[in-house]
Amino acid sequence: MSACWPGPALYVHRCGGALAPENTLAGLRIAGRLGCAAVEFDVMLSADGVPVVIHDETLERTAGRPGRVSCMSAAELLAVDVGRAFHPAFQGELLPSFEAVLATCAELGLVANVEIKPAGGFEVDTGRVVGELLARRAPDVEVLLSSFSADALEAAAQRVPDLPRALLVEAYSLAAQARALELGCHGLNLGRQGLRPEHVRQARAAGLHVLVYTVNDALDARQLKAWGVTGVFSDRPDLIR
């Protein structure tokens, strides 16, 4: 992967997709056992500036308890059970640090799409910390950076300019495509809803790779491939290979 990028065509969404509690080491292990080559996960900062892997700004949905990520220390967050709310069989699965997720990706040989997911107001800090951590870490994982936040992406890119990066947007527009190019991105990651073949064509003609989220139907994945997309994010890696 890189120079500059095409890696795998399937990224398991939030580590293990629908087959495990999201954004967990258990999810990574399931992705690995299924023979998947790449995963996507979301990185946010704790109150004390430690990058942890979680999608929402609060704990309600994934841990079934109150708590705001940006107001809790890493020590508090890394002790939160995010398995039980998904299924009692996963009780004891803890919210992981970014470091732990990268180490497990390295162990399993998984390519990592690191989505920088800053809590509101922490865009630059989150991008900076993610970039700094990746810059000082042994390069034992192939990484694609992405974010809905241009500020976060820019802050990360200053620390790791050689890593491929993609701007995330819900829907294609010429303005989003221009913004991705302006940011020096190598890709434009797009939501599936409303996506049309000409959007993919335009982005590819502009020199951008295109990953599409979230695609859980094998026929749809095949159609998107025919349109020219570089790859898809899926919650059902067992169905889409």
Give yes or no for a contact between 148 and 168, defined as CB atoms under 8 angstroms apart: yes
Give the one entry of ligand G3P, Mg ion, none that residue 98 binds, where binding means its C-beta sits below a cut-off of 5 to 8 angstroms depending on kind: none
Q: Which is nearer to ligand G3P, 92 or 134 (CB)?
A: 134
The site for Mg ion (CB under 5 A) is made up of: 42, 115
The answer to whether 51 and 74 are in contact (CB under 8 A) is: no
Contact in structure between 115 and 43 (CB atoms under 8 Å): yes
Residue nearest to ligand G3P according to CB distances in the complex: 213
How many residues can be counted in the chain? 241
Sign of CA dihedral 4, 127, 129, 47: negative
40 versus 154: smaller Cβ distance to ligand G3P: 40
Kindly name the residue from 13, 186, 199, 209 that is annotated as catalytic: 13
Q: How far is the CB of 95 from Mg ion (least distance, A)?
A: 15
Q: Which two tokens stand for residue 238?
A: 């067992």
Question: 114 and 41 in contact (C-beta within 8 Å)?
Answer: yes
Positions touching ligand G3P (CB under 6 A) are 13, 40, 42, 55, 115, 146, 168, 189, 213, 233
Q: Indicate the residue among 55 and 225 with the shorter CB distance to ligand G3P.
A: 55
Shortest distance (Å) from residue 129 CB to Mg ion: 17
Q: Is 87 a catalytic residue?
A: no
List, in sequence order, every beta strand (DSSP E) within the chain.
Answer: 10-12, 38-45, 51-53, 111-116, 143-147, 165-169, 187-191, 209-213, 231-234
Residue whose CB is less far from ligand G3P, 73 or 189: 189
Alpha-carbon gap, residue 234 to 241, rounded angstroms: 10
Q: How far is the CB of 75 from ligand G3P (least distance, A)?
A: 25
Residue 154 binds which entry of ligand G3P, Mg ion, none, with Cβ cut-offs from 5 to 8 Å by kind? Answer: none
CB of 223 to ligand G3P, least distance (A): 19
Question: The dihedral of CA 10, 14, 15, 17: what is its sign?
Answer: negative
Residue 168 interacts with, from ligand G3P, Mg ion, none (CB under 5-8 Å by kind): ligand G3P
State the binding partner of 81 from ligand G3P, Mg ion, none, CB within 5 to 8 A by kind: none
**115 near 187, Cβ under 8 Å?**
no
Q: Of the two residues 88 and 212, which places its CB atom closer to ligand G3P in the complex?
A: 212
Catalytic residues: 13, 55
